[in-house]
């Protein structure tokens, strides 16, 4: 399997684990995906990055451990750890936001 596919797969696994509430496992998958990206000097997928708390590394699941809010300009993501991040939502389509 090529590195990009592995990262994508790990992202999926992290998402599944996150949805089940297995946050430690989700974090582990994220960690592995980041390591692969680093090792292969790949850009970490933006789609995936959006769902990772930059402060605590948790995979963010809307309605479970994170709140996603939109205003006119951007999406604001609040993690349970108290960290917020915001980004313009026109640039990237967000899979999973509609759930
Ligand atoms: Zn956090």
Confidence of residue 99 (pLDDT cuts 50, 70, 90): very low
CB 54 within 8 A of CB 78: no
The arrangement of strands across the sheet holding 66-70 comes to 66-70, 74-79, 84-88
Tell me how far the alpha carbon of residue 22 lies from the centroid of ligand 1, in angstroms.
15
Provide the residue range defining the domain that includes 39: 3-88
pLDDT, tens digit, 9 for 90 and up, residues 83-97: 999 888 665 555 555
Q: Is residue 95 a part of any domain in this protein?
A: no
> Which residues have CB under 8 Å from 88's CB, separation 6+?
73, 74, 75
CB 46 within 8 A of CB 92: yes
Q: Is residue 82 a part of any domain in this protein?
A: yes
Q: Is residue 61 a part of any domain in this protein?
A: yes
User: How many domains does one find in the chain?
Assistant: 1
Pick from 16-20, 22-26, 40-44, 91-95: least confident: 91-95
Confidence of residue 71 (pLDDT cuts 50, 70, 90): confident
Mean pLDDT of 28-34: 96
Tell me how far the alpha carbon of residue 1 lies from the centroid of ligand 1, in angstroms.
31
Q: Is residue 42 a part of any domain in this protein?
A: yes
Q: Is residue 93 a part of any domain in this protein?
A: no
Mean pLDDT of 37-53: 92
Q: Is residue 19 a part of any domain in this protein?
A: yes
Question: If we measure between CA atoms, which residue out of 35, 60, 64, 38 comes closest to residue 50?
Answer: 60
Tell me how far the alpha carbon of residue 30 lies from the centroid of ligand 1, in angstroms.
13
Strand residues in the chain grouped as ranges (E): 66-70, 74-79, 84-88
Tell me how far the alpha carbon of residue 62 lies from the centroid of ligand 1, in angstroms.
13
């Amino acid at each position: 399997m090529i590195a990009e596919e592995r990262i994508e797969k790990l992202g999926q696994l992290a998402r599944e684990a996150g949805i089940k509430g297995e946050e430690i496992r989700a974090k582990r998958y994220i960690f592995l995906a980041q390591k692969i990206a680093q090792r292969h000097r790949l850009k970490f997928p933006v789609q995936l990055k959006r769902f990772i708390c930059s402060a605590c590394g948790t995979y963010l699941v809307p309605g479970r451990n994170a709140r996603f809010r939109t205003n006119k300009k951007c999406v604001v993501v609040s993690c349970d750890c108290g960290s917020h991040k915001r980004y313009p939502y026109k640039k990237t389509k967000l899979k999973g936001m509609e759930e």
